[in-house]
Amino acid sequence: MIESVWKRTEVTGSIISAKLYNLIIGLVLCWGFLVNFLMVKYIPTETIAAINPIAFFVGYLVSCIVGVIIYTKSDNPIISFLGYNFVVVPFGFIVNLAVSQYTPDLVMDAMRITGIVTVIMMILGTLYPGFFFKIARGLFIALIIVVVVELVEVFVFGIHHDILDWAVVLIFCGYIGYDWARANSIPKTVDNAVDSAAALYMDILLLFLRILRILGRSR
């Protein structure tokens, strides 16, 4: 069995320079964001909204799970990139539905804030990797608690507390720093760069969606 990317200590591909490694991470992230942008631009929101909600949710969940399994278990960058796209496409549908509810100016504000926060957390992840490794378990537990509380509030009580959005923002700020620290702790290969970008992509998109929601509510 191929070892999960985050547990790799042995080199399964050619080692590349740190600059090239980070460049590939950036390019893979940009590819995911470009695909999402094109999906928002060219796929009508009405088309997505017309899909049966259960079928949409199941398809989204299955595609993301399959994608994560593929890119975390593969040591082939091409296969990992394929798995990454299994995550990018369903996220694109979610982003499409989300941004359609807000003005372009507000969406741009959310993108700018997300970009600034992401850069800051990456810098912190570089400077203090040990800190982020220490809080990883706490981040996971906090995320599970917030998800459970949010589901109970929405589906049982039909309410939503604003503080949960802020909690999710803080959690994914932590995850960006953590995943960046993890990315720089494993062997610098092309495949590991793709896998690291995939993890960061999900962190950044989830952070963006919550920031967008907070900004939309405040205005």
Decide: 25 and 183 in contact? Cβ < 8 Å.
yes
Gap between the Cα atoms of 101 and 212, Å rounded:
10
Question: If you average pLDDT over residues 183-188, what whole number do you get?
Answer: 94
Residue boundaries of the structural domains of the chain = 14-218
Gap between the Cα atoms of 156 and 175, Å rounded:
29
| 180-200 as b/e: b if 16+ CB within 10 A | bbbbbebbbbbbbbbbbbbbb
Gap between the Cα atoms of 64 and 19, Å rounded:
29
pLDDT at site 8: 59
Residue identified by tokens 């900004």 is 215
**Whole-number mean pLDDT of the chain?**
93
Residue 1 has pLDDT above 50, yes or no: no
CA angle 198, 166, 156 (to 5 degrees): 95
Question: If you average pLDDT over residues 76-89, what whole number do you get?
Answer: 97
Residue identified by tokens 């997505």 is 48
pLDDT digits (tens, 9 = 90+) for 20-33: 999 999 999 999 99
Residue 3 has pLDDT above 50, yes or no: no
